[in-house]
Structure 1
Amino acid sequence: MPSASSGSRTIDTRIDLDRIDSLCAIWADWLADRSEDLLGLLTSMALWDSAVAELDSAITTLRGGRREAERLAGRGGGRVCTFLPSNNVLYSYVLFGLMPGLWSDEVLIRPSARTREVVLPLHELLKEMPHNPVALLDVSQRQFVALCREAQMVVFTGRYENLMTIREQIPADIPVLGFGSGPNPVVAGPLSNVAEVVRATVASRLFNGGQDCLCPDLLIAHSSLYPQIRDELAAVFAAVPRASREQPGLVAPPLFYTDAFDAAAEFVTAHREKIVSGGGIDAPSNWLEPTVLEFPRLAETHPPELFSPVLCLTAYEEPSEVRAWLESETEFERGMYVSVYGEPGLPDPVLGTSVNCGPATSFDAEDGNRPFGGYGVRASARWQDGGVVARPLLLSREAGRLPSPDVTPAAATVR
């Protein structure tokens, strides 16, 4: 895209909506036409169903490109640098590569070391796409950070501690967008349909074998329904078959990420007395049986991001307990999404710092053309000029130096 002035950090470039519409249509059609090749690559690390969903999301996002660009308000230009996440590599390539390529001068992405062997051939395939604006740089972190110092925007996806290290090496006036993760809890209130809650929770917890930042790590069930939910969850988890990633349907494959397997296996082993269902571990193959763990007190239950087919379960009596948990220091920092079924005492659009999805999963709420995440500083936040604002993020909305401040509700600013 031509810039308004020379240099890598120009802004206020005029947006050509017709050109954007044309490019997005070309790219979406190209992905659809090459779906067989793309799915073959993706299933080397992802389950068949999640690979299909990822391809569909990538195409849908591109189809919405013009609508998204219309909200850009004519701001653009400069260089965008992205540390690509280690999962959803095609969808992430679209979100953090192709989409900002519509309004920036230059897009540079660096693959994660965890998925380098998949991302490099994926990029070689996507290079055949007409007018692909993305440059993939397989360089050291230090080399890439040097390029980030001349960027208009830096996108970091990964561990919060790594974000803090990277951010300190980039000039303070350059916005750094941090995309992290959260526990995405499910609340099953006294008016819940148990079958609906179990179906939705199992489908979202076991999406891609649990290896997605949108998977829920915790189900909080009202005491009146708790025994029924626990028993049904246990039965469904126990029935999920062990299978390869290429098999369609709800299956339990070996985990792709060895570090995620190690962390989850350690967590299950440390809490073995809390197992309701599952708990099997096969270290040589990185396979972990779908597992439900029962914790006695909500206030003391703060599971890590498990990135595996492991679900924690606990009970509550009053909605005030759930509200207090979501407003606790730990959850306030990592608030992302919360699903609320059958609990009229939790109607707020934002609970603590978590976006309330209502009776739907975080996967249902996610939309590639709309801001992603919650208001927890570890989940999604913009760092710039020595300050931070936590809020759902969309690259096109954050483009330019002074994005509208109205996207952060006063009740959810960073403490």
Structure 2
Amino acid sequence: MTRSAVRSALVDFPAVRDRARAFAATLRERTPEIVRGLSGYQCANVAVDEVERSVDLLENLHLNREHFREKVGGVTTFLPLNQPLYATVCFGVVPSFMAEDTALRPPTAMHPHYRALAEVLDLSARFPELHVSYDDKEEFVAERAHRTDAVVFTGTPENAAKVRRSFPRRTLFILNGSGHNPLVVTETADVETAIASALRVVLYNQGQDCAGPNAILVHRERLVEFREALLARLREVEPRVGPYADPANVVGPNTDPDHAVKMVRRFRDDRGFWVYGGEVNPASGMIRPTVFEKDLALGGNFREFFAPVFFLQPYDDDADLRRYFEDQRYAANAMYVSVFGDSPYVKSLLDTPSHDADSILWDTDLHLTERGYLPYGGQGPAASCLYVDGVRVPGATLPQRDIHRHLVARRGSPC
């Protein structure tokens, strides 16, 4: 189809809405099959959560109706290592409703598990506009480079840069990277609420999630209470750490077995701050929940673990939080901050380029507030950004909004 023909193709949103709702119903009906299909890749609780998040997006797609006006030619998606179902819906299925040709590629390590998932979902029959590729990344990129209007990429900025260079400058490039996402437990925090949040965001999918915090900043007056309550809860979780195949387990092996080897080195480097856990099995990829405690005055932690690690950083006064947030390593990956209690300093971050009102969460966390029809990401360019005509635009992303805004609205829609 010629580019001019694509420009005149309108999106039939009532049909899109009906297809989305029908797929949501299928996900509900096939939840047990989906859980079984992913049982070699992730814990059952994560698969169930993915179904719930996917259904929520599909049933509420009408909230994004203004973005579904006119089709673009091609969308190319690179899926992350985590959340295969939810990522497919957000970055594959939904964009396919507004494009003539959509292709997605799961990471190589996910291929056998993704084939099983695609069969359970009957993706090829339900979404003929959506093609799943298991080709090598280089072959996939070469095949898609000149038939793509928008790329959706989830991964490191370094890998994104390599891929982006293979596409024409005019291609809209949507990057979902990684963020610091610290938790701040203030002097006035409800510690039980903060503990529940920390467990939720750190243990989810073995810590393999971009919402996981690199640091948990705890006011020293609440440190003992927080630490002891956290350790008590982790001891309760110990019997539920093991193979994915056991549906009762909530922490399983790392998706990338080689990552366990990296964690051995990281744990060795941080052994002076060790509090709990620390067991790593490079053969199985199992990284058991681990707690470190390092005074913020000794330096903030800005390295992502991609593992179930609670990195506690005690601080003495609200003003001391500047040691973390004003460190030169923070801004590039500024994403969300979850604050428990009150912090005048964190409120002051609203006056900086790193944060807006949507990226500071009070007494809650990303797992409770994230919805697939809302923008997601931060102001840090390594956390999320767009490349529009080769120019980087930092900020939260939403593929359906971004495709409409930068590819359809800019050329003038007949709607």
Partner of 1:97: 92
Aligned to 1:81: 76
Judging changes above 3 Å, is the alpha-carbon distance between structure 1 residues 143 and 253 closer, same or farther for their aligned structure 2 residues? closer
Q: CA deviation at 1:321?
A: 3.1
Alignment of 1:102-117 (within 5 A): 102-117=97-112
| AA of the residue aligned to 1:60 | D
Aligned to 2:376: 372
Question: Is 2:153 the counterpart of 1:150?
Answer: no
User: 378, 383, 387: which one pairs with 1:383?
Assistant: 387
Whether the aligned pair in 1 keeps the contact of 2:37 and 2:120 (CA below 8 Å) is no
Identity of aligned residues (%): 25
Q: Following the alignment from structure 1 to structure 2, what is the Cα–Cα distance between the partners of residues 364 and 387? A: 33
Distance 1:114 1:8, change over 3 A: farther
Report the residue type matching 1:245 in the other structure.
Y
Q: Which residue number in structure 2 is paired with residue 172 of structure 1?
A: 169
Q: How far 1:19 sits from its partner (Å)?
A: 0.9
- Which whole-Å CA distance do the structure 1 matches of 2:113 and 2:77 have between them? 17
Q: Name whichever of 80-89 and 382-391 sits farther off.
A: 382-391
Which residue of the partner structure matches residue 309 of structure 2?
A: 310
How high is the TM-score relative to the length of structure 1?
A: 0.89
Q: Distance in 1 between matches of 2:289 and 2:4?
A: 48
Matches of 2:187 and 2:8 in 1, distance apart? Answer: 52
Q: As a proportion of its length, which structure holds more helix? A: 2
- Assess if the C-alpha contact under 8 Å between 2:186 and 2:342 holds in 1: yes
Deviation of residue 384 (structure 1)? 2.5
2:412 maps to none
1:204 and 2:201 aligned: yes
1:223 maps to 2:227: no
Q: Which has the higher contact order (CA 8 A, sep 6+)?
A: 2
Hey, what does 2:38 align to over in structure 1? 42
Aligned to 1:392: 396
Pick the aligned partner of 1:59 from 55, 70, 82.
55
Q: Note the alpha carbon deviations across 1:157-187, whole angstroms, 9 max, x for none.
A: 1121111111122111111111111121100
> Would the aligned equivalents of 2:258 and 2:282 in 1 still touch at CA under 8 Å?
no
Mean Cα deviation higher: 86-95 or 349-358: 349-358
Distance 2:98 2:250 in 1: 40
Partner AA of 1:320 in structure 2: A
Q: Report which stretch shifted further, 125-134 or 178-187.
A: 125-134
Gaps of 5+ in 2: 410-415
CA distance in 1, matches of 2:389, 2:298: 36
Residues 223 and 376 (structure 1), Cα distance of their counterparts in 2 relative to 1, 3 Å cut:
same
Deviates more, 1:339-348 or 1:212-221: 339-348
State the AA in 2 paired with 1:25.
Answer: R
Q: Does 1:16 align with 2:16?
A: no
Q: Aligned partners of 1:185 and 1:244: how far apart in 2?
A: 29
Tell me if the contact between 2:177 and 2:383 (Cα under 8 Å) persists in the aligned partners: yes
**CA-to-aligned-CA distance 1:236-294 (integer Å, 9 cap, x gap):** 22332233324455643232321332222321122112111111223332222211101
Q: Does 1:27 align with 2:28?
A: no
Q: Is the 8 A contact 1:219 1:311 kept in 2?
A: yes
Contact 2:108 2:134 in 1 (8 A): no
**Deviations, residues 333-379 of structure 1 (Å, cap 9, x unaligned):** 01111101102312368576251121111111211111111111111
Match of 1:194 among 186, 191, 195: 191
- Pairs within 5 Å for 1:326-337: 326-337=325-336
Q: Could you tell me which amino acid in structure 2 is paired with residue 304 of structure 1? A: R
**How many matched pairs?**
400
Residue 358 of structure 2 is aligned to residue 361 of structure 1: no
| Matching residue of 1:118 | 113
Cα distance in structure 2, aligned partners of 1:399 and 1:331: 29
Q: Distance in 1 between matches of 2:330 and 2:211?
A: 15
Q: Deviations over 1:93-149 (max 9, x none)?
A: 111111011111111011211211111222233335534531011222222222133
1:72 counterpart = 2:67? yes
Q: CA deviation at 1:71?
A: 2.6
Are the aligned partners of 2:172 and 2:406 in contact in 1 as well (CA < 8 Å)? no
Equivalent residue number for residue 253 of structure 2: 254
> Counterpart in 2 of 1:270?
269
The counterpart of 2:136, out of the listed 133, 140, 143, is 140
Structure 1 runs not aligned, ≥5 long: 406-415
Equivalents in 2 of 1:170, 1:107: separation in Å?
15
Which residue in the other structure is 1:413 paired with? none
- Bigger Cα displacement from structure 2, 46-55 vs 353-362: 353-362
Q: 1:9 to 1:124 in 2, by over 3 A?
A: farther
Question: What is residue 242 of structure 2 aligned with on the other side?
Answer: 243
1:281 corresponds in structure 2 to: 280
* Aligned-partner residue type, residue 215 of structure 1: G
Distance 1:162 1:282 in 2: 27
Distance of 1:20 and 1:348 partners within structure 2: 42
